[in-house]
Amino acid sequence: MLTDLPGKTAVVTGAAGGIGLAMAKLYAAEGMNVVLADVEEPALAKAVEAVMRHRAGEAEAIGHVTDVSLPESVQALADRAFATFPSVDVLCNNAGVGSGAEGPMWQHERSDWQWAFAVNVWGVFHGVQAFLPRMIAQDTPGHVVNTSSPDGGIAPLPTASVYAVTKAAIVTLTEALYAQLKQADAKIGASVLFPGPHMVRTGLWESYRNRPERFAKSRPRQTPYPTLEGWEQAMKAAGREALMTEPEEVAAHALEGIRTGTFWILPKGGGSDDMIRRRSQSMLERSNPGYLETFILD
């Protein structure tokens, strides 16, 4: 567990907005130094300024433009963090994108999957490889938080299959990391973060704005990109309340998980517990996943 936070250093990817920025602000307010990493340079500069306004004591914040899909970019981030501060104590692999895929997966473009995996899965792995050796060598308490999602981490939303598959992979990756850290008798803990319990207002809906040319779509979309506003309107049209969770609440859950050494950072509510039970029961009974139909409707 990592309870003595002032003076420690946290690295947060995807930190220019949403959950990442909320994490960075909260850590700085706790007196931690923060290294903000993001692929959007102008937004990153503004984020660093915002974090500096929230800092406590002598905490410092720096930004480093990082493309987590590229191992050399994440390695450069690690080099900058360790060169700037005496240690890195918290690593939040938080950067993520939606794929922009349309229709059933047999109609998807390969690039939709390649881009989502490059950021959401490889990005986490690159963070582990770039930071963990030096964090372990410090021989001091530390923690890694990997951001997953109820979509995939608990059960997939079939209409967002690419994203769900990547977020399911993060759960397994973090479980294996947790066990390996224990086996190595390292002083580093690991957690998997499920933002929620309700829909979180983030820039994930507009991920396409940062899609690299090497993962460009080969054909134009047949429908507009979904938006958070569109989702809220659809909920209201169906007579259902569009419940929201603010990024600051997710950041508070993450901080509590770091302090307590909790692996499953999974807030109650939003139907998650019920879905976990139903999915587990389906597996135990070897029955078909009828819970997915309910998941679409609930």
What does 252-292 look like in DSSP terms, one character per residue? HHHHHHHHHT-SEE--S-TTHHHHHHHHHHHHHHT---THH
Q: How far apart are CA 40 and CA 260, in angstroms?
A: 32
- Torsions phi, psi of 100, nearest 5? 80, 15
Active site residue: 163, 178, 208, 291, which one?
A: 163
Sequence-ordered list of residues with C-beta below 8 angstroms from that of 142, at least 6 positions apart, any chain = 2, 88, 89, 90, 91, 135, 187, 188, 189
Q: Do 53 and 82 meet the contact criterion of CB atoms below 8 Å apart?
A: no
Q: How far apart are CA 250 and CA 82, in angstroms?
A: 27
- Torsions phi, psi of 65, nearest 5? -65, 125
Annotation says 225 is catalytic: no
By annotation, the residues acting in catalysis are 163
